[in-house]
Chain A
Amino acid sequence: MTAAATTMATSGEGVAARRASRDARIRGVAFAVLGLVAFYFASQSLQVAADFAFFIDRAATQTLPVQTTVGVLWMIAGLASGIVGLLQLARGAAFRWRPWLIVLIAPWIAATLGAVLAGKPANLSGMFSGSLEFAAPIALGAMAGILSERSGMFNIALEGKMLVGACVASVVASVTMLLTDNALLSTLVGIAVAMGASGLLGLLLAWLGIRHRVDQIIAGTVINIGAIGITNFLFLRFLSRNTEFNRPPSVQAMPIPVLSDIPVIGPIMFDSRPYVYVTYILVIVLTYMLFRTRWGLRLRASGEKPAAAGTVGINVLAIRYRSMLIAGMICGLAGSYLSMASGGRFGMEITAGKGFIALAAVIFGAWHPVGAFAAALVFGFAGSTQTLLAVLGVDVPPQLLNSVPYIVTIVVVAGVVGRVRGPAAAGQPYEQG
């Protein structure tokens, strides 16, 4: 099969196809090697117990125990890797391996977790729902990144816009709370104003890039540095002493009536803060809008080939301004999560690189909302695992886990696991005739 696929490719389309089928072979072998590695690990840990459990209901009264050995988990991971490797070798370059890679990640994570826990029992429901909470701001930021980059604007300013959003949300919500004493209203007003502020920053970025033809990377750097400067300044000059202006109502978990009663899945997925639900909705809506509507087609055309889009009468610049505005607003929402949900108040540089991890998720997810969400989940999982391991007293250097998103991104951008290609015109100025 492999040989057939190869000959077909070589006689067919020339260099590109040859390279694609060579890459496919390398990938297939790599998957198979991964499988063998997993089996080796399995042989080393046949007797080690893997004692997991999940909550069945929200009240956490009943648990679903999953008891096995680490060896079995490694065997599953190995088997899965082997199968994907074989599929890859059999199908050649036509094989859509990316979704399968995401499928593979699950058993590998389970086995690694079991190996790290080394027999200690652990309830994973909290960790999974924690991963979702952790992933929400990253995924939201990534949606903003996808929207702007698909329209042709390079956006490294996610971090700065999230930071400003976090600051504005906290201050505005606190002030509204002082004035009205209505937690829900204050939260909503805080989020709305934060979205407005970050949206304006998005417009500033677009204006600098489009009207003044400032390189979009430099413009993004301006916003990132400026956001750190102005929010730190505000914090030190004002908020650190007047703490009543930095005490927003905190956003709590809100179980969804019917869905949260689904056994096992309910407590993990539908008993979270509303931000998580907004993320689900946004991922679905954005996927539909980008790939199934005229609006999405025009937006993608502006990012891929603005000249062609302009020729058929699409107002490329208007699309870019609009998507930068919306992207900024989503960043503001993501920022408000950090100060009003997880942090409880605004603190200096509260984003701590989450905007850049969001950018990483955009690339890892190949500029697709679902892919970026999956990537955000993986990153969220890395963050949440850290908490679990710390609680259980397992000694893994946190620096290692902290570095995972960044290293993964470098590997992905470098094309080691197959090239991802961004929108062709992202970052290029466009002269509208």
Chain B
Amino acid sequence: MSRITALLRRGLVPLLAVITALLFGAIVIILTDFNNLANIGSDPAGALGGALSGVLNGYGAMLTGALGDPQKIGIALETMAPADIATAIRPLTETLVSATPLIFAGLGVAISFRAGMFNIGGDGQILVGALGATLTAFLLNGQAPAFVILAAALVVGTLFGAGYGFIPGFLKARTGAHEVITTIMLNYVAAQIVFFALRGPILRQPGSTAPVSKNMSAFVDVPLLINLPAIRLDLSFIAALLVAVLISWLLFRTTIGFELRASGFNMTAARYAGMSAGGSMMLAMALSGALMGLGGSFLVVGTVGQLSNDLAGGIGFNAIALALLAGLRPSGVVAAALLFGALSNGGKVMGIQSGIPFDLLSFIFALVIMFVAAPGLIRTIWRIKVSRPQPELAISQQPVASE
């Protein structure tokens, strides 16, 4: 019983953070509803009512877009026709599709934060990993069976991501270069590298000026979980869950994980205990990059099918929000990624159906980070007593470059 209360207490701040952020989002929607607000002088009640119904429409579309439309589910249950079932479950499967890269990236952020490293370079590592996977797939095209190409692409993509994550870890360990600065810069460099590669002969889509590679779904694809029309959910979701279990085991049941957490918690103490602080930094960043790279690889060989330089699209940044929301626990990361996946998938539907732009979600995610990081705000807004959750995160407080 006490475990459940503990879980509830731990979940209270994140839950209220998400609710508060959504309320702020609603306020923004109302404040920008100029069509209705223009009438506020003549008909204040009608104007506010119209604006409020706009919010309800938008958030309603988000909800049905994320979980499914009850009406369509009813039809599917009646007819049991594959096409109807597909339309009924599509929103839910799309939510899982959106959640998959977020799980990988969230685990990556969590493992680096646990070791006291701020990995803001998720987008770059996802891109470089995806580039590795794409290059492998095209180089092996026609020379190996599809499953070999898939496996090779995933492995190479993971290694590329790991290598790209290792750079800031190495620089931090050897020279004290602040990983926040280096990862931000490497994000931009990664975008340029991918842009450059997309101009090259191996990847370029003939006749296309857009920075997009040729499509590779004809010769490499991740097996689908449900074989119904227009359902994109594939094995990568299962892989993400397995990796989450693996990371949880690594962090909490192995010596390596203990050393990572120890050096994140108190680097000096870890060093005195004979652990290699520099080694932990490099390992954490390489692992973090590997997870990002794997996520990017699955994205590019699976659901997306082609490399573009906006493939990452802020996943690395949203992953920071959800990893903090999850208290840096792998199980929490999965839950938070499902929530964020639902929000962003529902947000797309909201954009299409009610004209409320999808980008509102970035704003909401930013507020979620803010409220989770500053529980005092939640306390003040909701007039409750919450204790600050202890995410076992030693916040790196070094100057930008070491002496």
Tell me whether A399 and B193 are in contact (CB under 8 A).
Answer: yes
Which stretch of A119-127, A234-242, A265-273, A288-296 is in the interface? A234-242
Q: In chain A, what residue has the closest Cβ to B317?
A: A225
Q: Give chain A interface residues in 133-173, CB to chain B under 8 Å.
A: 149, 154, 156
B118 touches which of A208, A212, A217 (Cβ 8 Å): A217
Residue interface bits B321-341, CB-to-A below 8 A is 1, else 0: 100100000000000000000
Q: How far is the CA of A397 from the CA of B195 in the complex (A)?
A: 10
Q: In chain A, what residue has the closest Cβ to B181?
A: A413
- Interface hub of B317, B355, B373 (most chain A Cβ within 10 A): B373
Residue interface bits B366-378, CB-to-A below 8 A is 1, else 0: 1101100110110
Q: In chain B, what residue has the closest Cβ to A240?
A: B357
Q: Does A287 contact B (CB under 8 A)?
A: no
Q: Does B249 contact A (CB under 8 A)?
A: no
Q: How far is the CA of A424 from the CA of B400 in the complex (A)?
A: 8
Residue interface bits B220-248, CB-to-A below 8 A is 1, else 0: 00000000000000000000000000000
Given contacts A403-B188, A406-B188, contact A237 B362 (CB under 8 A): no
Q: Interface of chain A, helix or strand or loop or mixed?
A: helix
> What A residues does B192 contact at CB under 8 A?
399-400, 402-403, 406
> What A residues does B386 contact at CB under 8 A?
none
A217 touches which of B28, B180, B317, B355 (Cβ 8 Å): B180
Q: Interface of chain B, helix or strand or loop or mixed?
A: helix
Q: Does B359 contact A (CB under 8 A)?
A: yes
Tell me whether A212 and B171 are in contact (CB under 8 A).
Answer: no
Tell me whether A427 and B188 are in contact (CB under 8 A).
Answer: no
A149 touches which of B186, B318, B363, B400 (Cβ 8 Å): B400
Q: Does A326 contact B (CB under 8 A)?
A: no
> What B residues does A413 contact at CB under 8 A?
171, 175, 177-178, 181-182, 400-401
Q: In chain A, what residue has the closest Cβ to B120?
A: A221
Size of chain B's interface in residues, with CB distance under 8 A? 56
Tell me whether B374 and A212 are in contact (CB under 8 A).
Answer: yes
Tell me whether B369 and A225 are in contact (CB under 8 A).
Answer: yes
Q: Does B283 contact A (CB under 8 A)?
A: no
Q: Give chain A interface residues in 239-260, CB to chain B under 8 Å.
A: none
> What B residues does A400 contact at CB under 8 A?
192, 196
Which stretch of A79-87, A184-192, A353-361 is in the interface? A353-361
Q: Give chain B interface residues in 165-216, CB to chain A under 8 Å.
A: 171, 174-178, 180-182, 184-186, 188-189, 192-193, 195-196, 199
B356 touches which of A222, A223, A237, A356 (Cβ 8 Å): A237
The tally of CB-CB contacts under 8 A between chains A and B is 167
Tell me whether B373 and A214 are in contact (CB under 8 A).
Answer: yes
Which stretch of A62-70, A98-106, A384-392, A414-422 is in the interface? A414-422
Size of chain A's interface in residues, with CB distance under 8 A? 55
Tell me whether A407 and B399 are in contact (CB under 8 A).
Answer: no
Q: How far is the CA of A213 from the CA of B189 in the complex (A)?
A: 32
The smallest beta-carbon distance between A148 and chain B, in angstroms, is 12
Tell me whether B363 and A215 are in contact (CB under 8 A).
Answer: no
Q: Does A372 contact B (CB under 8 A)?
A: no
B365 touches which of A229, A232, A409 (Cβ 8 Å): A229
- Interface hub of A222, A226, A416 (most chain B Cβ within 10 A): A222
Q: Does A262 contact B (CB under 8 A)?
A: no
Tell me whether A363 and B181 are in contact (CB under 8 A).
Answer: yes
Tell me whether B367 and A226 are in contact (CB under 8 A).
Answer: yes
> What B residues does A226 contact at CB under 8 A?
362-363, 366-367, 370
> What A residues does B355 contact at CB under 8 A?
237
The smallest beta-carbon distance between B111 and chain A, in angstroms, is 17
> What B residues does A208 contact at CB under 8 A?
370, 373-374
Given contacts A219-B370, A233-B359, contact A424 B196 (CB under 8 A): no
Q: Does B22 contact A (CB under 8 A)?
A: no
Q: Does B255 contact A (CB under 8 A)?
A: no
Tell me whether B362 and A228 are in contact (CB under 8 A).
Answer: yes
Q: How far is the CA of A213 from the CA of B357 in the complex (A)?
A: 32
Q: How far is the CA of A237 from the CA of B318 in the complex (A)?
A: 22
B366 touches which of A223, A402, A409 (Cβ 8 Å): A223
Tell me whether B180 and A229 are in contact (CB under 8 A).
Answer: no
Q: In chain A, what residue has the closest Cβ to B351?
A: A236
Residue interface bits A286-316, CB-to-B below 8 A is 1, else 0: 0000000000000000000000000000000
Q: Does A230 contact B (CB under 8 A)?
A: yes
Sort A-B residue pairs by CB-CB distance and give the 8 closest, nearest first: A229-B362, A226-B366, A229-B363, A232-B359, A236-B357, A422-B400, A212-B374, A406-B185
A sample of 16 inter-chain contacts (CB < 8 A) reads A214-B373, A219-B373, A224-B317, A226-B363, A228-B359, A229-B362, A229-B365, A229-B366, A237-B355, A363-B400, A399-B195, A410-B177, A410-B185, A415-B177, A421-B402, A426-B400
Add 6 more A-B contacts to A229-B364, A233-B28, A233-B359 (CB < 8 A).
Answer: A221-B366, A222-B370, A237-B355, A410-B177, A414-B171, A421-B399
